[in-house]
Amino acid sequence: MSLARDLDGSAPTGPTLHQDILDQMASELAGRRPALLTPDLHMQLTELKGFRHLVRHKYGFDLKPEKVVDNVERLQHVFPTFAKRLKDLHDQLAERSISP
């Protein structure tokens, strides 16, 4: 949220804020920052968000073990990719701020 607020000048609010922040971070903001999320990363994070919603609102009832395993594997793939994209964005912004 702070990335959206600090770099973009606004952060989503309301009942769809989790999806809205993913959508916002998947879009380039001309002159300010490139897209943080690639289309694939955006899709993967959206899937994880949906699974989180299911877990939180069903309180663990009716969870299929294979869905849990699928999402753990998805997270194991997505987290390092997201961390690298975030570091790359940090490096780009830092380089931009020290360039004459």
Domain ranges of the chain: 2-98
pLDDT of residue 60: 63
Q: How many CB atoms neighbour CB 72 within 10 A?
A: 10
**How many angstroms separate the CA atoms of 48 and 56, rounded?**
12
pTM to 2 decimals? 0.87
Q: Give the start-end residues of each E strand in the chain.
A: none
Q: Tens digit of pLDDT for each residue in 24-76?
A: 999 999 888 999 999 999 999 999 999 998 888 876 677 888 989 999 999 99
Q: What angle do CA 86, 15, 29 make, to 5 degrees?
A: 35
Q: What is the pLDDT of residue 100?
A: 60
